[in-house]
Amino acid sequence: MVPEVYEEHYRILSYDTDPDGRASLPALYAFLLESAGNHATGGGFGFKDMWSRGLIWVLTRFKLVVERYPMWNEKVTVQTWAKGRDGLFYTRDYHLKDETEGMLGRATSSWAVLSAETHKPETGEIFVRHFPHRPDQNALTEKLQKLPAVEAPFAVSEYRVRASDLDFNRHANGMRYVEWMLNGLDEETRFGRTFKSMEVNYLAETRLGDEVLIRNQKKPGADNMLLAAISAKSDGKDAARARFELG
C-alpha cells in the first residue's frame, strides 16, 4: 500500500553543489520533483501509468522556501504528500530535512492532469478516489499566485533548447527553466547571495530547438526580490515566470 507521506533519502554529491560546497537550488528542486514522481509511481499514477490512460502530469506552480542549504556529502530526506484537488489542479507539499530531522526547506506545488493527445485539461478524478491524500497538512500555508511579468530587465540572455533539457513528455523539464534563469544572473548575484525562496509559474512548453530569452529584473523597491522570465524569442510569450527572494 502506498504511504500517505512518502520518504526518500539523498546524499549531496559533488555535482549537486555550487562552488561554495552547498547544495544548489536546482539540486534541491530536483530531489523534491523526483520524490513526487516516485510517490505517484508507487501508487499507480506515475508517468507510465498515466500515459497508459492517455494522460500526463504537468507541473504548473511551485514554491520552495529554504531554511538551510545542506553541504556536500550531507544526507537529506524528502517527505512528500498529496493534498487533493483545487479546481482543475492537484496540490502536493514537501518537507526537506537533515539527518537530525532538522528542517532544511518547505515546498508546495500545483499540478494539472492533461490529455496526452490534445494537452487539454482532464479531471483526473480517478487520482482523487484511489490515491491517499492529506488535505489538512500544509508545508506552506499560502496559496500559490500568478507571478508578475518582467517589464524592465537588467539582464537578458538567449538560449536554444537542447536534447539534454527534455523530459519524458519531450519538452524542456521544469527544473531546466530554473537553471536557465539562474545562469542568466551575474556572478555576484548568483554566488554572492543566498536564495531564501523560489516561486515558479509554468505557462507554456518549450521543445527541442526552440529559442528563448531569459530576462531578469530586480523588483522595484525591494533589493532582495528578483523576478525572472523565460519567453519565446519568436513571439515574446512567456513560458515561465519566477520570483526569487535573496538573503
- CATH code, 184: 3.10.129.10
String of b and e for 129-138 (b: at least 16 CB within 10 Å)? eebebeeeee
Question: Please, are residues 2 and 43 in contact by the beta-carbon 8 Å criterion?
Answer: yes
Domain count, the chain: 2
Domain that holds residue 67: 6-130
Which pLDDT band holds residue 164 (cuts at 50, 70, 90)?
A: very high
For residue 108, is it left (φ>0), alpha (ψ between -120 and 50) or beta?
beta
Percent of the chain with pLDDT over 90: 80
Q: Do 126 and 10 have their domain in common?
A: yes
Whether residue 148 is contained in a domain is answered as no
Q: Do 76 and 189 have their domain in common?
A: no
- pLDDT value, residue 161: 97
Q: Do 10 and 116 have their domain in common?
A: yes
Angstrom distance (rounded) from CA 97 to CA 70: 9
Q: Do 10 and 83 have their domain in common?
A: yes
Whether residue 28 is contained in a domain is answered as yes
Whether residue 141 is contained in a domain is answered as no
Q: Strands 155-160, 195-202: parallel, antiparallel or unpaired by DSSP?
A: unpaired
Angstrom distance (rounded) from CA 115 to CA 124: 10
Whether residue 145 is contained in a domain is answered as no
- pLDDT value, residue 58: 92
pTM: 0.93
pLDDT at position 73 over 90: yes
| Average predicted confidence (pLDDT) for the chain | 93
Q: What is the mean pLDDT of residues 210-238?
A: 91
Question: Please, are residues 94 and 36 in contact by the beta-carbon 8 Å criterion?
Answer: yes
12-58 confidence digits (pLDDT tens): 999 999 999 999 999 999 999 999 999 999 999 998 999 999 999 99
- pLDDT value, residue 75: 98
Helices (H), 81-239: 125-130, 174-183, 187-192
pLDDT at position 134 over 80: yes
Helix (H, G, I), strand (E, B) or coil at 201: strand
Q: Do 126 and 164 have their domain in common?
A: no
Angstrom distance (rounded) from CA 239 to CA 41: 27
Instruction: List all residues 6 or more positions away from 188 whose beta carbon is below 8 Å from its beta carbon.
Output: none
Helices (H), the chain: 25-42, 47-52, 125-130, 174-183, 187-192
Which pLDDT band holds residue 119 (cuts at 50, 70, 90)?
A: confident
Helix (H, G, I), strand (E, B) or coil at 229: strand
Domain end (from 130, 163, 183): 130
Q: Do 35 and 118 have their domain in common?
A: yes
200-210 confidence digits (pLDDT tens): 999 999 999 99
Q: Do 13 and 122 have their domain in common?
A: yes
pLDDT at position 220 over 90: no
Instruction: List all residues 6 or more positions away from 138 whose beta carbon is below 8 Å from its beta carbon.
Output: 83, 93, 108
